[in-house]
Amino acid sequence: MHLSRHRTAGGPRWALDGRQLPQDFTLDRLLESPATEAHATLEDLATGDAARDPLLPPVEPYQEVWASGVTYERSREAREHESADADAYARVYDAARPELFFKAHGWRVVGHGDAVRVRRDSRWNVPEPELVLVLNNRMEIVGFTAGNDVSSRDIEGENPLYLPQAKVYDGSCSLGPGIVLTGPDGMRDLPVRLRIFRDDAAVFVGEVSTSRIKRSFEDLAGYLGRELTLPSGAFLMTGTGIVPPDEFTLTPGDRVEVSVGELVLENDVTG
């Protein structure tokens, strides 16, 4: 089952497997239900015409996007290499408690076909392709989407306390093109791919499997819900296992393609 959100003359509208849901349907309705009831609820509602309108990010403006760091060995290696405090990343990779940080409110998220940005005060910027968990208000996993956690490696590397500036800015978070509704078993061994194009030529290609992640999806979701109420559910980026070489930086005009399973998220890059 696949949820998508569309721009229509009457305002944003959701669709299930290409069939429009009622105009008043919001993602809250799904994320307020137990995970075991979510699919049946949607099937009863999907009676509209085929959805042909342009895509919007599959998140409501008031929902929160969070992110996990250093969950793949490749990410740990890259952070250690770039950072003036490399031990901090080695410790969090092996610790029981994961690194979690706030990434964006829903209104700040861009979607498939929109533009992501690189910071103008950074000289080293990279995309981070990630499987993104869709969580209900009980922190149960109801599905996933594809995400691009655009990051400024030089800013974070200078000082770990600069991470919010390296990660949280206009145009730094992309989600889409839709949500695949499935439990955690349906996402444990999915291919995650990254392709970066410059002047229509691929300048970087990488792939990893979600089976390489060090932490379980349930563990990440459980830590996010500790002492934190998320009444409208949440989106949780699960970290990246693909890092371009050190000499690479995103440039305005590039195009980034992130694939997670069958989902393909594309964004041009602006400054």
Residues 218-246 have a mean pLDDT of 96
What DSSP letter does each residue of 39-99 carry, written as one string? HHHHHHH--SPBP-SPEE-SS-TT-EEEEEES-SHHHHHHHHHH-TTHHHHHHHHHSSSPE
pLDDT (average), residues 193-212:
96
> What is the reported pLDDT for 80?
53
pLDDT band at 86 (very low <50, low <70, confident <90, very high): low
Tell me the average pLDDT across 232-242: 96
Mean pLDDT of the chain: 92
> Averaged over 109-118, what is the pLDDT?
98
| Structural domains present in the chain | 2-56 (no CATH), 64-270 (3.90.850.10)
pLDDT at 152: 96
| pLDDT the model gives residue 270 | 96
Q: Is the pLDDT of residue 234 over 70?
A: yes
User: What pLDDT is recorded for position 92?
Assistant: 81
Least confident interval from 39-43, 220-224, 249-253: 39-43
Query: What is the four-CA torsion angle of 131, 215, 78, 243, rounded to 10 degrees?
Result: -20
Query: Can you give the pLDDT at residue 73?
Result: 77
Kindly state the average pLDDT of the residues 61-73: 93
Q: Report pLDDT for 74.
A: 65
Which residues make Cβ contacts (< 8 Å) with residue 41, sequence separation at least 6?
A: 29, 30, 33
Q: Given this model, what pLDDT does residue 150 score?
A: 98
155: number of Cβ within 10 Å? 21
pTM of the full structure: 0.93
- Predicted local confidence at residue 75, as pLDDT: 63
Percent of the chain past pLDDT 70, that is, above it, reads: 95
Residue 126 has pLDDT above 90, yes or no: yes
Instruction: Name which residue leads in pLDDT, 143 or 44.
Output: 143
Q: How far is CA 13 from CA 18, 28, 71, 128, in A?
A: 11, 13, 34, 28
